[in-house]
Structure 1
Amino acid sequence: MKLRSILTCLIILTAFFVQAQRKNRPVTADTIISNYQPADLFAPMFYPERGNDQHAANGEPGIKYWQNRVNYQIKAAIDTNTKTLSATETIDYLNNSPDALQYLWLQLDQNTYKKDARSNYYTDAAPTQHTSGYEIESVAIDRGDVVKKVDFIITDTRMQVRLPNAVKPNGGVIRLRITYHYTIPGVFGNRTDYNDTKNGKIYEIAQWFPRMCVYDDNEGWDTLPFLGSGEFYCEYGDIDYEVTVPWDMIVAGSGELLNPKEVLTQKQIDRLAAARNSDKTIMIRDVKEVNDPASRPVRKGMLTWHFKMNNTRDVAFGASKAYVWDAARVNLSGGKKSLAMSVYPVESVGDSAWNRATEYLKKSIEYFSEKWFVYPYPVAINEAGVAGGMEYPGIVFDGITDKGKDLFWVTAHEIGHNWFPMIVGSNERRYAWMDEGFNTFIDVYASDVINNGEFAPKRDSEYAPGGGNPADEIIPTILDPDAPTIMTAADAVPEKYRHPITYYKTAFGLVLLREQILGPDRFDYAFRNYINKWAFKHPQPDDFFRSMDNGAGEDLSWFWKGWFYNNLKLDLELLSAGYVNNDPKQGLSVTVANLEQMAMPFTVEVKLKDGTKQRVKIPVEAWLQNNMVTFMVPTTGEVKSVIVDPDATLPDINRGNNGFIFK
């Protein structure tokens, strides 16, 4: 990762060197003014609970870990005249918990668009456009030979189904059948919408069916309402769905298309076959074919598109007669393959725009798969619309007008969400940092690697987007007394701080762990182990913290406490530097103080007058008992300068006291 620019370093060095020489300044722990309290930062018993049979002390799923499972079968249709989606949904719910479930809770995210939705009140930016949300026509228990309606209540974005008989524990099953419809929001839908293009409307359909709430060993039923910032928490299962639309529309959906011969022309089927064996992007439906009726297998009526996605927590799709469509092969380890596809209107065509969207998608998946965990699905789709950066399993909604580095960055970021939280199924509704922050971290490195860093460096700070020193970019947030902490509930983070805290501070914290505290080898090993152990499961924050502690062999509780649970400041000051016995050849005695509440390992660089350099790295243990540390740097001649944190990699709030020049 490129952690600084040459210009930034020159500015920092100038700040260091304008100070007067302070060689042999007499200092003691009693003569410096410091807010640092070692006993607070390094206090034992960081974890409030011991590991247990469900969540082991080493951060892995315990020997009795369980989670429930849900499979869906959905038959839906879009009425393009009324902008209505209607569907019948069958839910097969498997209760693996040790508890009998007398009632079930489901998520009804479309209700967030109602006039009386709770989401209208949790920020000052109240929406002015609304829909009537879900119109639930019936809810029934399907026993095969008997389908019987069952009582239910709806409260905001949740529905409780009250059962006549509890679902038995340890493997009990129940089948629900729900019939419903809703009006698709317009552009105001944000994550799900329809919008106009030159050649027709584009429908981006997400959060479109009632989904089971998660029942877990942490909260029981997790029924937080959908407000917006806190996104999704869903059970895993297989989703088999059909979408019926007018004959001239293309549907691009999560999972695998099961009936291509019914909805595609033979030419399109052949082109898809070619794309599955091509590293170069192949046009499936080009610009000239968009308005050509011959690009569709029939020329009237309706067509039903049938998709299935296995072991997923959700599905979404786009639908439009305006789509240009292209695809290319994704190369995975072990000879495995997937298919990257993009669908977009003619307005998005361009060599620096969506003509490269599939390339960006393909290369991002290949990088993330090689580095962290192999992409598990047969298809990945990049869809152009006005949702403008939204992720679902196997499909991302990116902006129609995106191009160049912005299109690459949003593509890499959104498809990266298939690792966090689609593969590692964390609870976004409570802990947004476990998906947004983790994903920001991995796509920073993707920008450095893909196409030899064509679009590097990737930054996610609002203070210096697209460049600047990442260590300095986080400092305004740390210094802001009103800034929330990373562990703040997702919907309780004000919009002003959502990006700096949830995305950037989390991501930069992981960069610090990887580059400054653990080193790449130990970090990568522990992080991959966390991903592998929690793939398609539901980790809690402590599972991540414990996984990193154990996998890296390091007690990092001081870091979790200072960086995640608090916004503790770091200020290292170079207090003194003098020759041992006044002899440059005997070494240089250096004293550094910690003036604020956070601690970090740090590096000191001594530059000699002959042009050579010496570096010494001081571990975090230097701060276990004291607020200052003295150590010796080997030297062979006269010293020119001394610098603490010479590469400016630490979030030091005052770099002006980090170094000086010898006379």
Structure 2
Amino acid sequence: MIYKPFRYLLYLGLAATPLLSQAQQKSQYNYSEAFGPNFYTENGTTYRSASGKPGPAYWQNSASYSIKAKLNDQQDQIKGSVQITYTNNSPEDLDFIWFQLDQNLFNNDSRGQATIPLSDSRYGSSSNSFEGGYQLNNLAIDGKSLATAYTITDTRMRVDLPNPLKAKGGKTTISMDFQFSIPEYGADRTGILNTSNGKIYAIAQWYPRVCVFDDILGWNTHPYTGPGEFYLEFGDYNIEITAPANHIVVSGGELLNPDEVWTPEQLKRYNAAKSSDETLLIRSAAEVANKSSRPDKKELTWKYRLDNAHDVAWASSPAFIIDAAKINLPSGKTSLAMSAYPKESNGGNAWERSTEYTKAAIEHYSKKWFEYPYPIAVNVASNVGGMEYPALSFCGHKAKAANLWGVTDHEFGHNWFPMIVGSNERLHGWMDEGFNTFINDISTEAFNKGEYAMKYGKKNALALTLFNPTLEPVVNSPQTMKERNIGYLVYYKPAYALHLLRDEIIGRDRFDKAFRKYIEHWAYKHPAPNDFFRTIENETGENLNWFWRGLFQNNWQMDQAITEVRYIELNPEKGAIVTVENLDKLPMPVEIEATTVSGKKITVKLPVEIWERNNKWTFKLPSTEQLTEVRLDPRSVFPDINPDNNIWRSK
């Protein structure tokens, strides 16, 4: 999901507020606190290895879904039925199963509605009069009706089982009917967009979904209040969506009956796009208003299948222009990039390039990190500003140029985090948004010879916002952050931290190899923060406890200062002695550039280990003439909150 303040950060520049106007005189740094060996409070287990990998006894449960639903475009409602095959791979029997009922967020009595502030919020309006939420009927377990065996509390439902579900492979089938009214603006994740050729329905969080049962918390039942996203089990999906025949229904998954839902000409174009590196129109803007561009029937059922995924979403509209192109994958396999958008989004360097962007992003991530696993990637123009689901994204219908590239690249980057690497977004939003933002920066540099690459200027200027003492720690859940801080803490600060690790502390080659290993180890599994931390340390051989403590567990600030420069025996020809002091809690490597009277530049780099048992460090500068200036962090790459004390100049 793209965050609006984050988008402004990217495209409008970073608004910075000075933190300190004068150097601190007394050091706040405590090397025992920063480098203490007790960062990991638990040892590795057979489920989660101390090496960062899944342990030899790692397990996770699975949930596969068969869903049939019908869209009523007159009443803006969905009616459907779902059958879930749930497998208990855990080492204990289960007496009940918890479900997520996310549509209940739109019930006026929900906890999420109660926590929406009076000021603007992307998750809704405190004065919202829309009354949504599920109507559930005909609950059955293994074919037997259990009308009273469930309890609904806000956005959760507990289903009590008639018999315990056996450990290590026990299966059960749960079925139910569901119905809900579609919110026009559903917390920026689902909604209805009115266009001149009809409504665009963006449908997500639309069916009851099984909560995750894991080795960390047991049942993960945190209520859905808007800010936190999702944590779901992997499984296979078979969905059938019945909609008016003048609609086109797109979904993340393989279309199983294309000959039934496309016209003969559209089917021909659709098949041609599968082998075309150039974007091909399947339904043009001129054809949208032509009745012959859709089969002459009252309604059609679109059938899709998606395997080894943890969610599925779809969109439906009579207004869709459809185009597509082939995605080339490193293994030699192919996928299909497709875009669905109204005529209002077409032209002027806008959505007519969406498929190009989708194809480029997925090809880049597949080559750089891990191969894309899905048969299709669909980008849908809607009133959802930016939201990701496996193989399908919703992006703002008004986006164009760099904005459209940015949101498209971001949402499809989410197919790696958290669609492939299935972290707990509701608790650890930085593990998907931050990681995704990090890989987005790299893909943007690569796209079309840097067409939309952005220059941020001096990187340490970011410290003025990202390390502001009023911010919460990155490890906080999104629900426990001020909404205005989520963009900085969930998206940008963890991405900044990964760039710092990659470029200045570990090195690109070593970091990239370790990052790929993290994805490989946890593909289609559920990593926790320590699994990531341990993987990077074990793969690179670096002790990074100080880094995780300062930038993730805490909101520590960095303030290095040059406190003394003197010549050896008062003779510039014998070199100079420089003293650097660490004044705040966050240690970092030291880089110093000295300039001599002749204009010569001398650079000295010191590792972070100088701060393992010192608050200040004195070293010899190999100069042979008088100095005019000595400067800390000459490339402005470290998050120093007080650059005023970084420069010594000769008097």
Q: Which TM-score applies when normalising by structure 1?
A: 0.92
Give the CA deviation at 1:596: 0.7
Matching residue of 1:309: 306
Residues of 2 paired with 1:114 and 1:141: CA distance?
Answer: 27
Matching residue of 1:472: 461
Matching residue of 1:369: 366
Matching residue of 1:196: 194
- Residue 565 of structure 1 aligns with an amino acid whose one-letter code is Q
Matching residue of 2:404: 407
Q: What SS is found at the alignment partner of 1:333? A: coil
User: Relative to 1, partners in 2 of residues 1:582 and 1:270: Cα closer, same or farther, differing over 3 Å?
Assistant: farther
- Residue 567 of structure 1 aligns with an amino acid whose one-letter code is N
Q: 1:556 aligns with which of 544, 547, 551?
A: 544
Residues of 1 paired with 2:638 and 2:116: CA distance?
Answer: 34
Q: 2:251 aligns with which of 250, 253, 261?
A: 253
1:30-45 alignment, distance < 5 Å: 33-45=26-38
1:147-176 C-alpha deviation (Å, 9 max, x unpaired): 665611111111111111011100000011
Residues of 2 paired with 1:238 and 1:552: CA distance?
Answer: 35
Matching residue of 2:315: 318
Q: 2:392 aligns with which of 392, 395, 400?
A: 395
- Residue 181 of structure 1 aligns with an amino acid whose one-letter code is Q
Of all paired residues, the percent bearing the same amino acid is: 45
1:415-434 alignment, distance < 5 Å: 415-434=412-431
1:52-91 alignment, distance < 5 Å: 52-91=45-84
Is contact 1:150-1:163 (8 Å) kept? no
Residues of 2 paired with 1:133 and 1:124: CA distance?
Answer: 20
Matching residue of 1:26: none
1:322-380 C-alpha deviation (Å, 9 max, x unpaired): 00111111111021211111110000001411111111111111111111111111100
Q: What SS is found at the alignment partner of 1:474? A: helix
Matching residue of 1:463: none
Is contact 2:381-2:397 (8 Å) kept? yes
Residues of 2 paired with 1:339 and 1:474: CA distance?
Answer: 41
- Residue 381 of structure 1 aligns with an amino acid whose one-letter code is V
User: Relative to 1, partners in 2 of residues 1:576 and 1:45: Cα closer, same or farther, differing over 3 Å?
Assistant: same
Matching residue of 1:115: 108
Q: What 5-or-longer segments of structure 1 have no aligned partner?
A: 1-7, 9-14, 20-30, 459-466
Give the CA deviation at 1:471: 2.7
Is contact 2:63-2:87 (8 Å) kept? yes
User: Relative to 1, partners in 2 of residues 1:266 and 1:583: Cα closer, same or farther, differing over 3 Å?
Assistant: farther
User: Relative to 1, partners in 2 of residues 1:364 and 1:127: Cα closer, same or farther, differing over 3 Å?
Assistant: farther
- Residue 140 of structure 2 aligns with an amino acid whose one-letter code is A
User: Relative to 1, partners in 2 of residues 1:142 and 1:127: Cα closer, same or farther, differing over 3 Å?
Assistant: farther
User: Relative to 1, partners in 2 of residues 1:660 and 1:240: Cα closer, same or farther, differing over 3 Å?
Assistant: same
Matching residue of 2:281: 283
1:455-534 alignment, distance < 5 Å: 455-457=452-454, 467-481=456-470, 483-534=471-522
Give the CA deviation at 1:587: 2.9
Q: 1:98 aligns with which of 75, 79, 91?
A: 91
Within the alignment, does 1:220 sit opposite 2:218 as a pair?
Answer: yes
What count of residue pairs does the alignment treat as equivalent?
A: 626
Give the CA deviation at 1:132: 3.3
Q: What SS is found at the alignment partner of 1:283? A: strand
Residues of 1 paired with 2:306 and 2:113: CA distance?
Answer: 33
Within the alignment, does 1:570 sit opposite 2:526 as a pair?
Answer: no
Matching residue of 1:133: 133
User: Which moves more between the two structures, 638-647 or 546-555?
Assistant: 638-647
Is contact 1:57-1:546 (8 Å) kept? yes
Within the alignment, does 1:605 sit opposite 2:593 as a pair?
Answer: yes
Give the CA deviation at 1:32: 5.9
Give the CA deviation at 1:661: 2.8
Q: What SS is found at the alignment partner of 1:133? A: coil
Matching residue of 2:447: 450
Matching residue of 2:352: 355
Residues of 2 paired with 1:132 and 1:153: CA distance?
Answer: 19
Give the CA deviation at 1:413: 0.7
Residues of 1 paired with 2:127 and 2:328: CA distance?
Answer: 43
1:218-252 C-alpha deviation (Å, 9 max, x unpaired): 11110011111111000000001000000000011
Give the CA deviation at 1:443: 0.6
Matching residue of 1:23: none
Is contact 1:474-1:504 (8 Å) kept? no
Residues of 2 paired with 1:252 and 1:353: CA distance?
Answer: 20
Matching residue of 2:153: 155
Give the CA deviation at 1:585: 4.1
Q: What SS is found at the alignment partner of 1:226? A: coil
Q: What 5-or-longer segments of structure 2 have no aligned partner?
A: 1-12, 14-19, 119-125
Within the alignment, does 1:269 sit opposite 2:257 as a pair?
Answer: no
Residues of 1 paired with 2:55 and 2:547: CA distance?
Answer: 25
1:160-218 C-alpha deviation (Å, 9 max, x unpaired): 11111011100000011111111111135531111210100000000001010000001
Residues of 1 paired with 2:572 and 2:511: CA distance?
Answer: 38
Residues of 1 paired with 2:410 and 2:463: CA distance?
Answer: 20
Q: What SS is found at the alignment partner of 2:467? A: helix
Residues of 1 paired with 2:384 and 2:562: CA distance?
Answer: 49
Give the CA deviation at 1:127: 4.7
Residues of 2 paired with 1:199 and 1:361: CA distance?
Answer: 25
1:5-61 C-alpha deviation (Å, 9 max, x unpaired): xxx9xxxxxx99xx9xxxxxxxxxxx9621111111111111110000001001110
In angstroms, what is the RMSD of aligned CA positions?
2.0
User: Relative to 1, partners in 2 of residues 1:73 and 1:612: Cα closer, same or farther, differing over 3 Å?
Assistant: same
1:536-568 C-alpha deviation (Å, 9 max, x unpaired): 000011111111111111111111111111111
Residues of 2 paired with 1:479 and 1:84: CA distance?
Answer: 45
User: Which moves more between the two structures, 232-241 or 508-517?
Assistant: 508-517
User: Which moves more between the two structures, 629-638 or 196-205?
Assistant: 629-638
- Residue 546 of structure 1 aligns with an amino acid whose one-letter code is R
1:498-545 C-alpha deviation (Å, 9 max, x unpaired): 111111111111111111111112211111111110010000111111
- Residue 52 of structure 2 aligns with an amino acid whose one-letter code is G
Q: What SS is found at the alignment partner of 2:236? A: strand
Residues of 1 paired with 2:177 and 2:92: CA distance?
Answer: 28
Residues of 2 paired with 1:456 and 1:582: CA distance?
Answer: 49
